[in-house]
Amino acid sequence: MAHSKPVLECPALMLAAPASGQGKTTITAAMARYFRLQGLRVRVFKAGPDYLDPKVLTLASGAPVEPLDMWMAGDEYCQTMLYQASTEADLILIEGVMGLFDGEPSCADLALRFDIPVALVMNVKGMAQTVAAVALGLASYQPTLNVVGVIANHCSTARHAELIQSALPDHLPMLACLRSDESITLPERHLGLIQVEEQQEHIDALINKGAHWWDDGLARGTGLDAFFDAVGKTQFIPTETPPAQLSYPLKGLTIAVAKDAAFTFIYDANLLFLKNYGAQISYFSPLSDTKIPAADAIWLPGGYPELHRDTLAQNHALQASLRSAYEAGLPILAECGGLLFCLEGLTDLEGQRSPMCGLIKGEGVMRGKRGCQGMQSAMLPEGEVRAHAHHRSRTEGTPAPIAHGKRQRHSAPGEAIYRQNALTATYLHLFFPSNPEAICRLFLGDFATPEVSI
């Protein structure tokens, strides 16, 4: 099939690992900043759903970072994003998720689908020659996967590096040998990394230090020229499918979006989706604003309302404004943290309760270590929307849901989906481009079934 756009070539690399906790995010950020400082235009993607790592990688690379997930977004969406990146980048980096072969689809599946070479990021502390055995096993498990080398993290001494290098086969070189350095560790909390907005100067300084760390590690590995020889160039093919023509466009619609330190889990892809289909975006802060701006619909995304529950509870004017919008029948989408904000109260890990908006009966209660995460489809009456769950709280005393999420690989019901008046609330984080028509109907209030009265 002939393409109206040219096939492009660009160096690209997937950073994958045997498991979580190997240092992928720190290394990807360090690489992005290092190559940016070398004058290269770097585009970074994050495999799988994630709100926190992409913010660090955006700061490191100086360009937006979006998720690449073939289940959540679809092959064609991923192809389009990669092709677009190849039109403007000198290097494309993709940070993997969990282990190389974990999940359906896995990082390996993504790399195979788009013929992207893979570097194995391995925490080599406590290992020497065994690094080669593990790397060779990963590289040969799927013979058509192009694994180009190893990035050895926490390599303590020159002798340690020598033992690893001597055991690695020629076709799996040590691309970089990174010393142990706890001073570049990125700060974390219960759902992952600390948000960049909270400690931007500190995190930026860590990334700069990481760039020098990578420079040293690269010199102890193959060196810069050999690194790019190993990575090579990947061909990126444009998609030819024209954009869908929707029956329910958003032209003329203004959507008020909550965005502040308490509500930050927003994919740029979702905002771009709303704008592409004609909506105007008006941001507001439930922490500091006294009313919701004039709008036709409201989106309350996820975030960390539990860290700001007292401030949210004391903003009586904003809560009253949201209740008025709800009572007036404005379509409202509340996801995860947005759901907690819509409940009657939110209790933290110390048992301290703060009143929330009370649009939905029930309480939100934070949990210590237990929570829920994973891929689910939101089985909305308007259609199936791909989504994911990631939270450390539970709800109590809530009304009967109108539907549940459908888990990707398990038959048990997923997260509850509530609807009252024109409010749709769930723990699920929706990926809007996965079903444009359903999302447009959601914000237009053109629901497929009668509203549930509680």
* pLDDT of res. 133: 97
Indicate the pTM of the whole model. 0.90
* pLDDT of res. 181: 86
Q: Which of 434, 425, 420 is nearest to 302 (CA)?
A: 425
Does residue 256 surpass a pLDDT of 60? yes
* pLDDT of res. 217: 95
**Architecture category of domain 9-236 in CATH:** 3-Layer(aba) Sandwich (3.40)
Does residue 85 surpass a pLDDT of 80? yes
Q: What is the pLDDT of residues 285-298, one digit of tens each?
A: 999 999 999 999 99
**Architecture category of domain 254-444 in CATH:** 3-Layer(aba) Sandwich (3.40)
Give residues with Cβ within 8 angstroms of 392, minimum separation 6: 190, 191, 366, 367, 368, 369, 370, 371
Does residue 164 surpass a pLDDT of 50? yes
Q: Where are the domains of the chain?
A: 9-236, 254-444
Q: Rounded to an integer, what distance in angstroms lies between the CA atom of residue 223 and that of residue 217?
A: 9
Q: Rounded to an integer, what distance in angstroms lies between the CA atom of residue 153 and that of residue 268?
A: 31
Q: What is the pLDDT of residues 355-407, one digit of tens each?
A: 999 999 999 999 866 556 788 999 999 999 999 998 789 999 999 999 999 98
Same fold, 9-236 and 254-444: yes
pLDDT above 90: percentage of residues in the chain: 79
Q: What is the pLDDT of residues 32-78, one digit of tens each?
A: 999 999 999 999 999 988 778 888 999 999 999 988 999 999 999 99
Does residue 192 surpass a pLDDT of 80? no
Active site residues: 336
Alpha-carbon Rg for the chain in angstroms: 23
Q: What is the pLDDT of residues 134-162, one digit of tens each?
A: 999 999 999 999 999 999 999 989 999 99
